[in-house]
Every structure is written in structure tokens, then in C-alpha cells.
């Protein structure tokens, strides 16, 4: 899909030397591709890893997200043992 969009953009830019409306069409094409064409779930989860984000679409994505969350929790418990114990006590009440 990305190859088609890039090829179409190049064609529109080349045609834009004769008519500048083609340049606007190329920009619109790139904007729509960046906004809706790519996987938005991966970009949002990388930008803010603490937010859960949308549900994974495949089981593989779910497993990767689950394993990443487990690694974060183990690291938090290792680096902040007092806070981790306090949180565990609050959960058990």
C-alpha cells in the first residue's frame, strides 16, 4: 500500500510542474495516508506507552503487548520495591 501511495505522489508531483493543483492533490494524498492509511494503533502505543490504547487486532499483537506490560511491571517492582509493596498492600485491602 505504501509503495502505491509513494508512486502516486511522485506522479502527481511530476505532473504538478504543469498544473499546481496536482501538487495539492499529492499533499492531500500523503496527508490521508498518514492519517488513515497506516496502522494507528502502533503509532499511538509508541508515543505514550503508559496508556492502554486500542485493543490489539491479532493474537500476536495481544501477546506482545501482554509480555511488554509484564516486563514493565517486573522492572517497576525491581527498581521501586517500597512503592510496589505499598501498592500490593493497598490492592489486598
Quote the CA–CA distance of 93 and 82 in Å, as a whole number.
17
Give the mean pLDDT of 42-65.
72
- Is the per-residue pLDDT at 47 higher than 60? no
- Of the two residues 72 and 44, the one the predictor is more confident about is 72
Distance CA 6, CA 54 (A): 28
Amino acid at each position: 500500500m505504501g509503495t502505491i501511495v509513494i508512486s502516486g505522489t511522485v506522479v502527481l508531483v511530476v505532473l504538478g510542474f504543469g498544473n499546481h493543483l496536482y501538487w495539492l492533490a499529492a499533499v492531500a494524498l500523503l496527508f490521508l495516508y498518514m492519517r488513515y492509511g497506516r496502522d494507528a494503533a502502533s503509532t499511538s502505543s509508541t508515543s505514550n506507552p503508559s496508556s492502554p490504547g486500542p485493543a490489539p487486532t491479532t493474537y500476536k499483537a495481544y501477546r506482545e503487548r501482554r509480555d511488554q506490560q509484564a516486563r514493565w511491571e517486573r522492572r517497576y517492582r525491581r527498581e521501586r520495591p517500597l512503592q510496589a509493596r505499598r501498592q500490593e498492600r493497598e490492592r489486598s485491602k
